[in-house]
Amino acid sequence: MIWNPNKECMSRDEMHALQSKRLQKLVTYVYHNVPFYRNKMQAMDLSPEDIRSIDDIVKLPFTTKQDLRDNYPYGLQAAPASEIVRVHASSGTTGNPTIVGYTRKDLAVWSEVMARCLTAYGVTREDTFSVAYGYGLFTGGLGAHYGVENLGATVIPTSTGNTEKHIRLIRDLKVSGIACTPSYALYLAETLEKMGLTKEDIGLRIGAFGAEPWTENMRKEIEERLGLKGYNIYGLSEIMGPGVSYECSEQNGSHICEDHFYPEIINPETLEQLPRGQQGELVFTTLTKEGMPLLRYRTKDLCTLMEGECACGRTAVRMGRIVGRSDDMLIIRGINVFPSQVESVILEMKEFEPQYMLVVDRVGNLDTLQVQVEVRRDFFSDDIGRMLAMKKQLADRLKSVLSISADVKLMEPGSIERAQGKGKHVIDNRILK
Amino acid sequence: MTIKQLSVFLENKTGRINEVTKILSRHGINMQAFSMAETADFGILRLIVSDVDKAVEVLRGEDFAVMLTDVVYMHCPNEAGALAGILDRLAQGEVAIEYMYAFAEGDMAHIVVRPTHIEQCEKALA
């Protein structure tokens, strides 16, 4: 099913025309309402008239997370305070939080794009859907919530915490769909097993997983343990929240709602726009946003964009999986290492729980990488030789994927801290705080 | 005779063995023998206890990775050459030993052997 075929299946020419028209309007709007952008454009000797089509987007300045922090709280807001009806904020663990104000129309667009996602996953008005993203300043909870309501399904606003009660609700209210982080989905599966229940005792059919990078192997693991089909959902609060892109039944990349969010891939070092199909940093321009519109916002997420018609009938460009974040990337002995690479190796081996921690340290002048993994109860052996072989097998596979050697540390099951929200997978002791 | 040994997977972390012994003590389970095999980052605690089924149940309940292993228990006089005699018989029966632990007390010595093949070991000792 397709929620809005007019937009989701638009011809490429029509989409180009629509995006061009919207970009022109957006640039004029921010030029006259956001001094930050007016100053930047004037410094580049650029006026709104210079933007004639979506292809002129490369002339426009970028926006970074730092720009949002520097203009805290409302410096980048374009709409007057009287038009803002809601505010969300990012966590701000590394500085000022990012404040995003939404107008009534922004919220309508958000619940529209969320309804597109949920429809693509197969959610209908008959479904009961649990939103287990955190409710509050984080966009996950409320964003998904209003999407479910817009679609007309029944929403259970579970939020996070109290997982056993959540599982009882899933069972008793016949909840068929859930939105949460992939880490939380695994925690849910673990708790289910601990309660002595099986996936057959609950009737979950659809999972909308996002807010952190995850891998194909993790998808298989979650699907197997919860008995549902897992779909990727992507979004970020600076641009909107969940619903920026979503997987369809083909699961070959996530369709971007590009009538609202225009994507580009750039080389994060030279800032040049890269052709479709090449991997680089994902950049979004909010074509229709009123509250806090952004030009060429650098997401730090690394992925590729794919064009071409999809068997599902949608024409919107697709983004591949996020392979990492340019700021999640660890540089160990000069080699780029992404936690997601380690995760996919661990998930390929049935001997280990899908929980891991990378501990990076520096001994003398040499960086060291330790990968901590939990041994599954069923694979624990009284035979030390067998345990050491298991450890060596993982170390060998890690080495072939990462190109650097990692010291594997076997941990007791349950000993690595479980995440309720976004999983934490790296401890970098090299950073002096 | 063949008995069940309890094997517990432990991280090398201060106080971890103590947690196992505390749990067993809380449930009134007595430890009759134990040995610790260790590597740089983990260890395997091997125990002979008074109530092996209950020990498995309570340790699993506290999230420990636990398994049962068949081992051969025997005893001999606490005197020079007694163990050598037993090991001779095992060698003649071509029994391979993965590990063993033993201790002596008064007139008696107690030995726990983990052979690669239990039956072969029993036969050699019969």
Residue A382 and residue B46: Cβ atoms within 8 Å? yes
Least confident of A34-38, B4-8, B62-66: B62-66
Please indicate, yes or no, whether the overall pTM of this predicted structure exceeds 0.90.
no
Q: Residues A212, A230, A240, CA angle at the centre, nearest 5°?
A: 45
Average pLDDT value for chain A: 93
- B58 in the same domain as B104: no
- B62 in the same domain as B10: yes
- Nearest C-alpha in A relative to B46: A382
Q: Which of A282, A338, A341 is nearest to A306 (CA)?
A: A282
- B95 in the same domain as B82: yes
Across A280-294, A314-328, A370-384, B69-83, which has the greatest mean pLDDT? A280-294
Residue A412 and residue B65: Cβ atoms within 8 Å? yes
| Residue-level pLDDT at A87 | 97
pLDDT in tens, A66-99: 899 899 999 999 999 999 999 999 865 556 789 9
- B77 in the same domain as B38: no
| Residue-range definition of the domain harbouring residue B101 | 71-125
CA distance A167 to A197: 9
pLDDT in tens, A237-263: 999 999 999 999 999 999 999 999 999
- B34 in the same domain as B9: yes
Average pLDDT over residues B14-22: 92
**The token pair that represents B9 in the structure block:** 């997977």
Residue B42 and residue A415: Cβ atoms within 8 Å? no
User: Can you name the residues that pair with B123 across neighbouring β-strands?
Assistant: none
- SS3 of residue A247 by DSSP: strand
- B23 in the same domain as B56: yes
Q: How many residues in chain B?
A: 126
| Residue-level pLDDT at A91 | 66
Q: Is the pLDDT of residue A411 over 70?
A: yes
Q: Per-residue confidence at A422, pLDDT binned at 50, 70, 90?
A: low
3-state secondary structure A220-238: HHHHHHHCCEEEEEEEECC
The CATH number of residue B46's host domain is: 3.30.2130.10
User: Which residue among B68, B88, B109 closes a domain?
Assistant: B68
Number of domains in chain B: 2
CB of A372 closer than 8 Å to CB of A409: yes
- B89 in the same domain as B44: no
Residue B9 and residue A414: Cβ atoms within 8 Å? no
**The token pair that represents A168 in the structure block:** 């009882």
Compute the nearest-CA separation of A401 from chain B (Å): 23
| Residue-level pLDDT at B105 | 86
CB of A316 closer than 8 Å to CB of A256: yes
Q: Which of A279, A114, A73, A298 is nearest to A208 (CA)?
A: A114
- Nearest C-alpha in A relative to B68: A382
Q: Is the pLDDT of residue A166 over 90?
A: yes
What's the CA dihedral at A219, A221, A222, A225 to 10 degrees?
A: 150
User: Which residue among B68, B92, B111 closes a domain?
Assistant: B68
- B117 in the same domain as B86: yes
| Residue-level pLDDT at A341 | 86
- B61 in the same domain as B89: no
| Residue-level pLDDT at A161 | 84
Q: Is the pLDDT of residue A362 over 90?
A: no
What's the CA dihedral at A24, A28, A34, A39 to 10 degrees?
A: 100
B65 near A CB under 8 A: yes
Least confident of A159-163, A164-168, A216-220, A332-336: A332-336
| Residue-level pLDDT at A365 | 75
Nearest to A380 among B11, B41, B65 (CB): B65
- B88 in the same domain as B58: no
Q: Which of A101, A99, A56, A94 is nearest to A78 (CA)?
A: A101
Q: Is the pLDDT of residue A109 over 60?
A: yes
Q: Which of A217, A228, A263, A220 is nearest to A244 (CA)?
A: A263
| Residue-level pLDDT at A417 | 84
Neighbours of A295 (CB within 10 A): 24
Q: Is the pLDDT of residue A395 over 70?
A: yes
CA distance A143 to A63: 23
Average pLDDT over residues A168-192: 94
Average pLDDT over residues A182-188: 91
The phi-psi region of residue A208 (left if phi > 0; otherwise alpha if psi is between -120 and 50; otherwise beta) is: beta
Average pLDDT over residues B80-93: 92
Q: Which of B47, B44, B41, B45 is nearest to B12 (CA)?
A: B41
**The token pair that represents A181 in the structure block:** 């982080």
- B58 in the same domain as B14: yes
Neighbours of A57 (CB within 10 A): 19
- Measured in whole angstroms, the distance separating CA B119 from the mean position of its chain's CA atoms is 17
Q: Is the pLDDT of residue A34 over 50?
A: yes
| Residue-level pLDDT at A433 | 38
- B56 in the same domain as B93: no
Q: Residue A409: its chain B contacts at CB < 8 A?
A: 41-42
Q: Residue A412: its chain B contacts at CB < 8 A?
A: 9-11, 63-65
User: Which residue among B32, B53, B68 closes a domain?
Assistant: B68
Residue B39 and residue A383: Cβ atoms within 8 Å? no
**The token pair that represents A151 in the structure block:** 């679609």
- SS3 of residue A47 by DSSP: coil
Q: What is A139-193 written as a DSSP string? A: HHHHHHHHHHHHHTPEEE---SS-HHHHHHHHHHTT--EEEE-HHHHHHHHHHHH
Q: Is the pLDDT of residue B125 over 90?
A: no
Sequence-distant (6+) residues with CB within 8 A of A251 are A231, A232
Domains and CATH numbers, chain A: 1-326 (3.40.50.12780), 330-428 (3.30.300.30)
Least confident of A9-23, A91-105, A297-311, A382-396: A91-105
**Phi first, then psi: what are they for A344, rounded to 5°?**
-70, -35
CA distance B38 to B8: 12
Q: Per-residue confidence at A63, pLDDT binned at 50, 70, 90?
A: very high
Average pLDDT over residues B90-99: 93
CB of A131 closer than 8 Å to CB of A210: no
